[in-house]
């Protein structure tokens, strides 16, 4: 998509972090922006920032784990603007800990948000995107969707799934002569966001039983290390700029952290040679 001005962009998880940066970035390009987020105050704050910059914006409370909620988001977008051209399936949550210490509610919560949120977004918005003269859909995965380090089992599983869905969709859209829909997947490294505090929006029925002893200490130590890394991570606005550039240039892979390319190549070389996977020194999890 070479022309973004006047287009309608939808961003899930738009209340903070990469989502807010995407909303502001597309707004700066002249798009009308729909901000979807489950957290009312964060969503309203993003809307206020957009409107202060003269952007036409709509906020919609959205739980991406709920198919009816995402369907309502699509309906609200069409009702307000009549069409949609850009969708960023960005909402996601994380969580740390070894697989042996995970509870089933950990798997369900992370996969419901980070994987099913993308599935719901693709399912409910793709018909509208295919009806547009040109459109683009992007989903936020992670470098953890390209190489799996220890301590992030549910997150890795969700992000690998997001990459697979978007790569499949890319091939399908390339072969679909009845529409003009570009596809991208964002695979960032560490970004300065508040994803580590995503527990604030975790529903009561999916909250984990408190771990004590060594498992609890290990999880706390891991999460503290993640929090420290996030504080020194890339600015979300720089990540959003990579996404928008990929949108303009019909680029599938959005690799905002090129320093992790060697980790990805290392992983793929073990696949190519059928040798057991290893982690490079200094890699995520290495």
Which residues carry out catalysis? 155
State residue 255 phi and psi, 5-degree precision: -110, 90
Q: Residue with structure tokens 């303009």?
A: 248
Contact 80, 1 (CB under 8 A): no
SS3 59: strand
CA angle 24, 189, 206 (to 5 degrees): 85
| Separation CA 173–CA 40 (nearest Å) | 34
152 has which bridge partners? 97
State residue 49 phi and psi, 5-degree precision: -65, -40
């Amino acid at each position: 998509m070479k022309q973004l001005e006047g287009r309608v962009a939808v961003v899930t998880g738009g209340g903070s972090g990469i989502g807010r940066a995407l909303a502001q970035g597309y707004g700066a390009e002249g798009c009308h922006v729909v901000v979807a987020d489950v957290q009312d105050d964060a969503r309203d704050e993003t809307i206020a920032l957009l409107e202060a910059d003269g952007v036409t914006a709509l906020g919609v409370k959205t739980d991406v784990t709920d198919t009816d909620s995402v369907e309502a988001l699509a309906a609200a977008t069409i009702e307000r603007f009549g069409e949609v051209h850009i969708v960023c399936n960005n909402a996601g949550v994380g969580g740390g800990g070894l697989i042996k210490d995970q509870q089933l509610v950990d798997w369900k919560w992370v996969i419901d948000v980070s994987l099913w949120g993308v599935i719901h977004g693709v399912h409910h918005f793709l018909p509208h995107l295919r009806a547009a003269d040109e459109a683009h859909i992007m989903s936020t995965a992670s470098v953890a969707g390209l190489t799996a380090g220890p301590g992030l089992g549910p997150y890795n599983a969700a992000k690998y799934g997001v990459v697979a869905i978007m790569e499949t969709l890319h091939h399908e859209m390339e072969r679909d002569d009845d529409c003009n829909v570009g596809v991208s997947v964002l695979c960032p490294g560490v970004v300065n966001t508040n994803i580590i505090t995503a527990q604030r929006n975790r529903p009561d029925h999916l909250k984990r039983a408190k771990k004590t002893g060594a498992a609890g200490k290990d999880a706390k130590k891991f999460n503290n290390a993640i929090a420290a890394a996030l504080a020194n991570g890339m600015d979300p606005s720089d990540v959003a700029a990579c996404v928008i550039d990929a949108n303009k240039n019909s680029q599938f892979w959005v690799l905002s952290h090129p320093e992790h390319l060697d980790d990805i190549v290392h992983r793929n070389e073990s696949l190519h040679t059928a040798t057991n996977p290893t982690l490079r020194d200094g890699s995520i999890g290495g």
